[in-house]
Amino acid sequence: MAAVLIALSVVTSSVHALTINLNAGATLTANPAALAAFNRAANQWSSQIADPITVTIDANLASLGAGVIGQASSVILQANYNNVRNSMVADSAGEADDGIVAALPTAAQFSAFLPTGFSLGGNLSASKANLKALGFAGLDAGFGTTDATITFSSNFSFDFDSSNGVSAGLVDFETAAAHEIGHALGFISIVDVIDAAVSNGQTFVVAPRTLDLFRFGAGVNPSNPANFTTTARNFVPGNAAILDDLSSELAFSTGASNGDGRQASHWKDNSLTGTLVGVMDPTLATGAFVPVGANDLRALDLIGYDITVVPVPATLYLFASGLMGLVGIARKRAV
């Protein structure tokens, strides 16, 4: 049964599928095990996303500073709030599980809790890859083909092959790469920019990220589509925050400087809660493989990706759940 379903997904992906074009630099190319792991990480996302777009990621290994595992940057663009919001609504229209997206507030309905001195300015922002998934055209021509640049440290000891388990004390490279690709696809929050500005005594006019449209205070969150539209989103670093789509509430991190010590563009750290929400956890356990999971995919589903339902083999479930106990006690590093 599972084999039949997997075969179907392959047929689908040959017609409509996300292509992640890894533009590997010389040092990464010269390390076949690392390149293979990077490609497996990309495939974890692309095999489960049906949008017929190409996302280009410049990827490499390089000598980075002591203690730095890797660094990543995405091309982030902004546009008129209603332009992006209406694209999200249109993109989700054919997806039975995405009815809540139609209840996203219009610009006139939108409000948010912000630190003193910050204001909303009528724009939304998103990664270029995310805007492609929403159907915006001409982005590569206008802003260059690169959607994100991801560089991992060549000085750091990774386990490049988790097929025989991840060695104790080592970070799994595929897990780290999948995490960074998640940011590139659009798992980002403006709260990190606000957090840094607060620490520098600065303020700015805020263009929330698409994912921020689902970010509510843990204590002030919606319970039906009508108040999903009208409830203020929460972009205050340090305020307990959740992704709320009315079917689930998933905790976010609240800020590196003025929050829980983790960048807000992540799920809440399982080392603080005991619950691993997904690969977009802010820190990486050593000795563990963490797959792209249902919650990670749900976040991308809400911001405009079309998710292909691929059954997870029972053996992988067992493998993943068997790791859960280890994650909480393993040494963790920020990603």
Give me the residues that bind Zn ion (CB under 5 A), please: 335
Please name the helix (run of DSSP H) or strand (run of DSSP E) that holds residue 241, with its range, or none: strand 241-244
Q: What is the largest CA-CA distance in the chain?
A: 58
CB of 213 to Zn ion, least distance (A): 20
CB of 159 to Zn ion, least distance (A): 19
Helix (H, G, I), strand (E, B) or coil at 211: helix
CA distance 309 to 294: 10
CB of 214 to Zn ion, least distance (A): 18
CA distance 120 to 113: 10
* Beta carbon nearer to Zn ion, 92 or 189: 189
* Beta carbon nearer to Zn ion, 124 or 335: 335
CB of 183 to Zn ion, least distance (A): 5
Spell out a b/e string for 243-254, using b for 16 or more CB atoms within 10 Å of the CB, else e. bbbbeeebbbbb
* 173-185 vs 294-302: helix crossing angle, rounded to 10: 20
Q: Is there a contact between 184 and 203 (Cβ–Cβ < 8 Å)?
A: no
CB of 255 to Zn ion, least distance (A): 13
* Beta carbon nearer to Zn ion, 105 or 182: 182
* Beta carbon nearer to Zn ion, 123 or 175: 175
* Beta carbon nearer to Zn ion, 40 or 333: 333
What the block records as the tokens of 197 is: 């500005």
Spell out a b/e string for 16-55, using b for 16 or more CB atoms within 10 Å of the CB, else e. ebbebebebeebbeebeebbebbbbbbebbbbbbbbebeb
* Beta carbon nearer to Zn ion, 85 or 332: 332
CB of 144 to Zn ion, least distance (A): 23
* Beta carbon nearer to Zn ion, 22 or 335: 335
Q: Residues near 142 by Cβ (< 8 Å), separated by ≥ 6?
A: none
CB of 33 to Zn ion, least distance (A): 23
Helix (H), strand (E) counts: the chain: 12, 17
Q: Which residue is nearest to Zn ion (CB)?
A: 335
